[in-house]
Structure 1
Amino acid sequence: MTATCLVVMGVSGAGKSTIARRLADSLGWPMAEADEFHPPANIDKMTAGVPLTDADRAPWLAALRDWITEQSRNGIDTVVTCSALKHGYRDVLREARARVRFVHLAGGQDLVTDRLSTRSGHFMPPSLLDSQFGDLEELAADEDGVTVDLARSPEEIVESALLRLDLHPGAPPGR
């Protein structure tokens, strides 16, 4: 059986890390932060308030895809955080040799801006939020995933995602 990778996606400040950690803990799966796959040049650009281009993102997405494949080859189901803003970016992740499923944390820009204003210790400045919302493409019919309202509590988001994806804590995918 092919391993599953849940990609918790959305703009910066949507709560990807929080929800991914809760999903991983609930399912007993390891978790990876896509931010850790960025090359230093990308981090430098974002820290300086410069939006990444598709060319900047290409090696980052490829590295994440390859990590998902490696985990799957070892029979390991995973949860990862990744903005995955565009359909094309998600296509790269779906090239992994795993069942890649998405949990899109969707919500209004005002709510996300409020959340970012209280966050510290992250290289992504709030000034790049406009570019992220500009790039964001909703999940399409050909994408395996669910959209969840990020205004809900973390517990409600996790419960809804697991239910709608037919995933059960402590059980193999789809069981």
Structure 2
Amino acid sequence: MEAYGVLLLMGVSGSGKSTVGTLLASELGWKFYDADDYHPEENRMKMSRGIPLNDQDRIPWLYKLHGILLREIASGERVVLACSALKKMYRDILIRGKDGTPRKHDKLGKEEEPPEVKLFVVHLSGSFEVISGRLLKRKGHFMPPKLLQSQFNTLEPPSAPENFIQISVDKELSEIITTIMEALKVQ
């Protein structure tokens, strides 16, 4: 369990990332961040008007999240992050930040590797029907249910060599938490 500084709960809107993340962080004694809290107002407004976000909207947001994760890890914290992270490229940004970031040099002038976030991915997955039913019951969120299909269209489920597990949202919440805790012990 010591290998990972960040546990990423990913999936489409309505998959339970925030609910699972809050409980899991409490259980582990880790900090919890909900990536939705860090969307710029323009992104929130765009989604609330029913317009799906694109890479140009998401990438600066992901850079900001990477910076938060690096800061927390550097201060010795471990983090549970609830973030859609729908594409592999997005997860790579959470790990490595900006490609092309100027490299630092050590005292001997040797180029240092940029810091990476050790990420363990939990993909909360479910059918369109199950998740859209959940979204229709959700109140007060800026992400309207009509954008769900665009998220499924964008979704690139994690695959090797990513460090991940996939869990069905059809399971009971307690079972989801137990499965994640067991997976962390194996890591």
Q: What is the one-letter code of the residue matched to 2:145?
A: P
**Structure 1 residue 151: Cα displacement:** 0.6
Between the two proteins, the alignment pairs up a number of residues equal to 168
Indicate whether 1:131 and 2:150 are aligned: yes
Normalization by structure 2: what TM-score?
A: 0.86
Which SS does the other structure have where 1:58 is aligned?
Answer: helix
Indicate whether 1:146 and 2:165 are aligned: yes
Q: Which residue of 2 aligns with 1:162?
A: 181
Indicate whether 1:54 and 2:73 are aligned: no
The 2-side partners of 1:146 and 1:19 are apart by 14
**Structure 1 residue 165: Cα displacement:** 2.5
Please identify runs of 4+ aligned residues in structure 1 that moved more than 4 A: none
**Structure 1 residue 3: Cα displacement:** 5.8
Indicate whether 1:91 and 2:110 are aligned: no
Please report the RMSD computed on the Cα atoms of aligned residues, expressed in angstroms: 1.4
Please say if residues 94 and 117 of structure 2, whose CA atoms lie closer than 8 Å, have aligned partners that are also in contact.
Answer: no
Distance change (3 Å), C-alpha of 1:64 and 1:91: same
Indicate whether 1:39 and 2:14 are aligned: no
The 1-side partners of 2:163 and 2:184 are apart by 9
Please say if residues 146 and 165 of structure 1, whose CA atoms lie closer than 8 Å, have aligned partners that are also in contact.
Answer: no
Which SS does the other structure have where 1:121 is aligned?
Answer: coil
Please say if residues 86 and 136 of structure 1, whose CA atoms lie closer than 8 Å, have aligned partners that are also in contact.
Answer: yes
Q: Which residue of 2 aligns with 1:118?
A: 137
Deviations 1:111-163 (A, max 9, x none): 00110011001000000000000011111101111110111011100100111
Please say if residues 2 and 72 of structure 1, whose CA atoms lie closer than 8 Å, have aligned partners that are also in contact.
Answer: no
Which SS does the other structure have where 2:162 is aligned?
Answer: coil
The 1-side partners of 2:19 and 2:45 are apart by 24
**Structure 1 residue 39: Cα displacement:** 0.8
The 2-side partners of 1:147 and 1:155 are apart by 16
Which structure has the larger Rg over C-alpha atoms?
A: 2
Which SS does the other structure have where 1:75 is aligned?
Answer: coil
Normalization by structure 1: what TM-score?
A: 0.92
Please say if residues 51 and 128 of structure 1, whose CA atoms lie closer than 8 Å, have aligned partners that are also in contact.
Answer: yes
Gaps of 5+ in 2: 98-115
The 2-side partners of 1:152 and 1:77 are apart by 26
Which SS does the other structure have where 1:166 is aligned?
Answer: helix
Q: Give % identity.
A: 40
Please say if residues 40 and 61 of structure 2, whose CA atoms lie closer than 8 Å, have aligned partners that are also in contact.
Answer: yes
Which SS does the other structure have where 2:7 is aligned?
Answer: strand
